[in-house]
Each structure stands twice: as structure tokens, then as C-alpha cells.
Structure 1
Amino acid sequence: MIASSQTTRPLDHLVLPVSDLATARSRYEALGFTVAPRGEHPFGTENACVFFKGGTFLEPLGVADREIAEREARVGNVFVGRDQAYRFRRGQDGFSAIVMGSEDADRDDAAFAEAGLSAGRMLSFSRKFKTPAGEEGEAAFKLAFAADPRAPDAYFFTCQRINVPAVDRTALETHANGVVGIREIIAVEENPSDFQYLLQEIAGTRDVDAHSFGISADAANARLTILTPAGLEAYFGAKVEGRERGIHLTAIIFTVADLSACQAHVARSGIATRTSGNRLIVDRAAGQGAIFIFEEA
């Protein structure tokens, strides 16, 4: 297995398609997240990210220019092509991709190809970055894509940060709900072990924890878990929408400094929540395509 020869990968960010950024921003801010100013990609998509300490973030992803995006998809831009395919199959609000950090995207691309998991050609691009205080910089990236053809509604890529803007993101990494980072990502599939090899390759580890409701692998800074539908219901009281085979990215578990304070903040916004053990759960809504789960550190 190629992943055994490399360092365990860190989680970089999560891609969450949205119908429009204004709706997503309103939803995230009501939940107590600080949302970055709008960013635009050179291939027709746009985002408004939510950053956390340690470098991870959420990427609510919108379509800024449909004509450009469709043209890019036709010429083989995997990022845009996968986004369009997801929206066609699953709707405008969802959770489409897990992105891992990388120091060498070219090596990752070769590894994915050798493992039979390549999702297409690499992508290099840059975009402007701006903080709420008005600091500006240019971020540049190189991406290597992976996917399993049995799971058309989820894909993965590694992200090598070629240029990181020298700006202060402290304000963007501070959230009124007390979230300090991403703890775990939950996917759902009827038989999780069918995707064990993919999970190992993405996380960059041989070590997999198999349990009665699924499998988990620890990336360098977060846990990746695939649960059965029964596991999702047992742990989080949620049911799968439909029963199509393949990985469906479903939930994100956040670490919060104080769960009761987080719950009080969300309640003041009038957003419905529920609890399961020591977890606060917010179900999907317009602008929020995944189940959000808050757990105390």
C-alpha cells in the first residue's frame, strides 16, 4: 500500500456546496461562526470560508459564473466537474469532498494513480485573499484528486499550499460559539469495510479501527469515520436520506471549549437543536449541507 510509506496526512478542509453564499453566510453566522469575506476562484466558483486554529477550515462553495464553470468542467477541471455532478445528483446544499493537507501534491497524484484511485488531472491555481480588517494577499494551491467509482457522491483531494498570504487570520479563527476545530468527519455507507482501502489511502495510514457500526482512521489532526446507517442513527439519532450504495459525507463533529455556552448561543439565534449524550446536534438546513455536531474538548 502506497500510503504506508508516507506520513499520515492532516485534514486541510471540507467542501460544502451551497445554493448561494448569502444564505450560507446567514446560517453559519447564526450558528456562531465567523465567516471570511467572499473569495472567487478563476474557474467560476466562489467561497466564504470558516477558518479554525491549526489551519483547517470549512469551504461553503457557490457558483459565481455558471458559464465559466461549465466550460472548465468540459475541459477536465476535476474540482468544478465534481461540484456540478454533485449538485445534479444531490442538490444545491450538501457535503461533497474531504481535503487533506500535502507537502507534495505531485507525489500524491502518482500514488492515487498507482492505487487505482485517481479522479483526474491535477489542478494548480491562485486566488486573492482578504481579511475583515482589509489585509490582502494571494493564495496559491496545487491539488491532486482521488475517488472511488463506486461512490459518485464523494471525492477527495490533497491540497499543497504553494503560497500562503502573510496576513493575520486570528479574528477569522475566533468564533462566538466557541468552536476551536474539527474533530471528526462522518460518512455513511451500508458496508463501510468495502471502502477501507480508500480510507487508508486518503488518511495516509494502515491503521483502521473496525467496530460494530463501521470503521475509522486517524488522520494527523482529525478522525475519518464511515458508519452504517444503523450506526448513524445509534450515535447521532439521524437517518440516511435514501439508501444508495457508496460513501455519503454526512456530518462534521466540532470541538468546542464550552458546550453549554455553545448551546446557549445557538438557542439565542432560534435555531433548532437536539442533544445525544454529551453532544449538541444541528440538523441540515438551507446553507448547511451537513449535520453539525458539537462536542466539548
Structure 2
Amino acid sequence: MVRGLDHVVMPVHDLEAAARAFEKLGFTVSPENRHSWGTANRLIQLDGFFLEILTVADDSLITDSEGSSFSFGGFNRDFLNKREGASMLVLDSSDPEEDRADFEKAGLSLFDPFSFGRIANRPDGSTAEVGFDLTFVGNAASPDIGYFTCRNKFPENFWQPVLQNHANGAQAIKAVYMIAEDPSDHHEFLGGFTGQREMRATSLGLELDTARGQISVLNPRAYRSLIGDDAANAMIGPLPQIAAIEIACTGVTERRVVPASQLFGLTLILSPAA
């Protein structure tokens, strides 16, 4: 089974400032939501994919990862202590037990199962219960990137049409771009994680099509060619890293690149919808 892109986690120091920046780009951003372990988020929902803009709201509630127990809050707190930007790549899930079996078969490093629920705040002031089953895996070749699958237990409560209506016509995720000195180092892990064993490999990088959007792992030279010198020069943080996401927008007539230096550590590519 080939999994699809579900969301990208983006830790920032100032949640409200980041939300305003995305709103100025024509995105509708959800109200703030809180996690019981000390983080808060605001979401940008597309067609089956979302960007989770995250911050540390109460550091006293955050625990550290220990042994086989993975701490979402601790990982993102530690990431944010180094820099802002994209910290985690998340795929969708229909069955976490099947995910675990697939990951074990692929030889991936697994953490304990984790499930949680929270209250979602809607733009009209109402609330709804949402819940998720998460399956975390580790990749020693990219320690600064977190990976997990996410089963949405109440999709009818989570996905809200009003949040998927964007002034810029944003519709769908086209690609997530990662940068690595040697993209081939990530071939086996990403194949096992996504379930997609068919991928295009060149001297410039890897491309694999998921069930929703593409993952592209590029070397620095290829990334510069894709993104342009200005955006590439603004890149921060060690490699490998999640550097950019590309979103298809009906309200965009030509490709636009918003560099990481202008958007809290994540480069955004807005492309015309097909």
C-alpha cells in the first residue's frame, strides 16, 4: 500500500505572526488549538493535506523522548531551539497496525503506538472532538526530521470546508522537497515509509510519487536550480532537511517562490493548478 502525504509540521516561535504571514499570502488559517502536552497549532487545510504551524505554548508540560517512547512535543521543542522551519513529514494512515507491520518488515526503527484526542476550535466559535492514531518511525540518516503516519479518527469533524476556501485558490499539495548531500542515502527508508518502491533516481536526487503528492529529495545543487539563487541562499539549518513545499493554486497564474527567510524557515512554492 502506498501512503499519501498527510501533513507537514512547522514549528515557529510566534504562532500568530506566522499565521498572519500565511494569511497575507491568501491562505485561510484555522483558530488556535491546544495539545495537552504543551504545544499549540494553527492549521492550513487543503484537499486531504494540511500544514500544521506549531509553537510551544507551555514548556512545563513537555516531556522528553525516552527509550521507545517518542515525544512529539519534546522533538519539536528541541527543533525550535535550533531553528524554525519544517520539522516533521507525516503520511496518512487507514490502519496503524498495518503500518507497524509494514515498517517492521521494511526494517524501520519503530516507537511505541500513540493515540490522542483534542477539541478543535472552529472559525464560527463552535468546537468538535478530533482524534488521531500516530505511528512514529526513526531514520538515523536524518535525525533532525521526524516521521510518522496519522490516522484521523473523526475526519468529519476535522476537515472543514470553510478552512479549505483560500483567497489564493490553494487546492492541493504538489510536492514536499527535502535536501540531502547524498539523496541516495534515503532511498531505502523513504521506500519503506511510503510503501512506494518505484522511484526515479538521478545524479540530482530522488523523486517518488505518493498517493497524495510527491516527495523529492535533492542535492544542494539541484535544489538551487529548482528554487533559484535567492531562495537557496536563504536556506538555514543542517542537512538533510525538509526545505520547501509546493502547493497548487487556482488563483495563481505563474509560479511564485516565497523563500524561507521570509516565511519562518520554510520555502513555499505556489504553482498554477493543472
User: So what's the TM-score if we normalise by structure 1?
Assistant: 0.84
Give the direction of change, closer, same or farther, for the CA distance of 1:233–1:198 in structure 2 (3 Å limit).
same
Aligned-pair CA distance for 1:119: 4.8
Whether 1:283 aligns to 2:259 is: yes
| Distance in 2 of aligned mates of 1:138 and 1:40 | 12
Question: What is the percentage of aligned positions where both structures have the same residue?
Answer: 32
Q: Is there any run of 5+ residues in structure 1 with no aligned partner, and where?
A: 1-6, 261-277
Q: Is there any run of 5+ residues in structure 2 with no aligned partner, and where?
A: none
Per-residue CA distance 1:205-238 (angstroms, 9 max, x = gap): 1100113411111000100000000001111114
Whether 1:21 aligns to 2:15 is: yes
| 1:120 aligns with one of 111, 116, 119 | 111
| Distance in 2 of aligned mates of 1:77 and 1:36 | 27
Aligned-pair CA distance for 1:282: 0.4
Verify the 8 A CA contact 1:41 1:127 in the aligned structure 2: yes
| 1:249 aligns with one of 225, 242, 255 | 242
CA RMSD of aligned residues (A): 2.1
| Distance in 2 of aligned mates of 1:230 and 1:283 | 16
Matching of residues 128-143 of structure 1 within 5 Å:
128-143=119-134
Whether 1:81 aligns to 2:57 is: no
Aligned-pair CA distance for 1:165: 4.5
User: So what's the TM-score if we normalise by structure 2?
Assistant: 0.91
| Distance in 2 of aligned mates of 1:187 and 1:167 | 28
Give the direction of change, closer, same or farther, for the CA distance of 1:61–1:287 in structure 2 (3 Å limit).
farther
| Distance in 1 of aligned mates of 2:155 and 2:128 | 8
Aligned-pair CA distance for 1:134: 2.5
Give the direction of change, closer, same or farther, for the CA distance of 1:181–1:106 in structure 2 (3 Å limit).
same
Equivalent residue number for residue 187 of structure 1: 178
Matching of residues 198-209 of structure 1 within 5 Å:
198-209=189-200
Aligned-pair CA distance for 1:167: 6.9
| 1:145 aligns with one of 136, 140, 145 | 136
Number of equivalent positions: 269
Equivalent residue number for residue 68 of structure 1: 61
Give the direction of change, closer, same or farther, for the CA distance of 1:179–1:168 in structure 2 (3 Å limit).
closer
Verify the 8 A CA contact 1:16 1:58 in the aligned structure 2: yes
SS at match of 2:232: coil
Verify the 8 A CA contact 2:13 2:80 in the aligned structure 1: no
Aligned-pair CA distance for 1:74: 5.8
Equivalent residue number for residue 96 of structure 1: 87
Whether 1:107 aligns to 2:98 is: yes
Verify the 8 A CA contact 1:32 1:177 in the aligned structure 2: yes
Equivalent residue number for residue 34 of structure 1: 28
